[in-house]
Amino acid sequence: MLRAIVIAGRKKSGKTKVIEGLVKELINRGYRVGTVKHVPKQGFTLDQSGTDTWRHAQAGSKTVVCISPDEVATLEKRKPDLGEILSSLRDLDFVILEGFGSVENLVKIMVARNEDEASELDDDFTVGFMGQGVGEKTVLEPDDFKAIADLVEQKALPPTAGLDCGDCGYGTCKEFVLAALAGKAPKNGCRPLFGRVLLTVDGRRVPLKIFMQDLIAGTIAGMLTSLKGAKGEEIKIEVIRHER
């Protein structure tokens, strides 16, 4: 079950160093870990001007895949959707997000250099601080990676589908996340995200309400009962809307 945690703070506050140590500590504990970095600078690109892949993108290629002996890099020229990105990482145990301090419905640990910074960064989803904190929330040393990993294991939650559908028993995703943080709701209580049916359209995850999941699952299962060799627990169907 994928769980997410945000490490946020002001520029040059030491977020990346914290994430380096946290990633290593979680991996040492046997977890599969991924990271997501927020770069707010307009026009930023990981590609280098003048390279072949840069020229591909400049020519209009929407997706550029670069393959080397040791890695595969996919560059997509489009507006990002954080929920979709997190959904694509669902095979991991933890994903650590650097930045994203203003995003809602994700658990956060803030890196603060003084009390004023801590007060400015604090919000309903902040479960702890590194360096300086406010109120009664946990304050850890930025280099105490074991304690930071302990807090992440205790508090990190799976992302929500963002539908505000009420299938979890709460009126909004925010209410559910806050209830889960308080121990009043199960961590995997976002039923559209962890239900029976996974729908992707052009590679993008589309969350479904439970009613629609049950309808799709029941219809397909019923259709397959008469097909030889179609028995099993997991069913995968690829549908192409128009002939290619």
Identify the domain boundary among 115, 140, 159. 159
Q: Write the pLDDT tens digit of every residue in 189-224.
A: 887 776 778 777 776 777 788 888 888 888 888 888
Q: Are residues 16 and 135 in the same domain?
A: yes
Q: Are residues 178 and 224 in the same domain?
A: yes
DSSP 90-149: TTSSEEEEES-TT-SSS-EEEEESSHHHHHHH--TTEEEEEES--TTSEEE-TT-HHHHH
The domain containing residue 243 runs over which residues?
A: 164-244
Q: Write the pLDDT tens digit of every residue in 83-134.
A: 888 888 888 999 999 999 999 999 999 999 999 999 999 999 999 999 999 9
Domain membership of residue 62 (yes or no) is: no
Say how many domains are in the chain.
2
Identify the domain boundary among 136, 159, 182. 159
DSSP 202-220: TTEEE---HHHHHHHHHHH
Domain membership of residue 70 (yes or no) is: no
CATH number of the domain encompassing residue 7: 3.40.50.300
Identify the domain boundary among 125, 159, 193. 159
Q: Are residues 172 and 155 in the same domain?
A: no
Q: Are residues 228 and 169 in the same domain?
A: yes
- How does DSSP classify residue 74? E
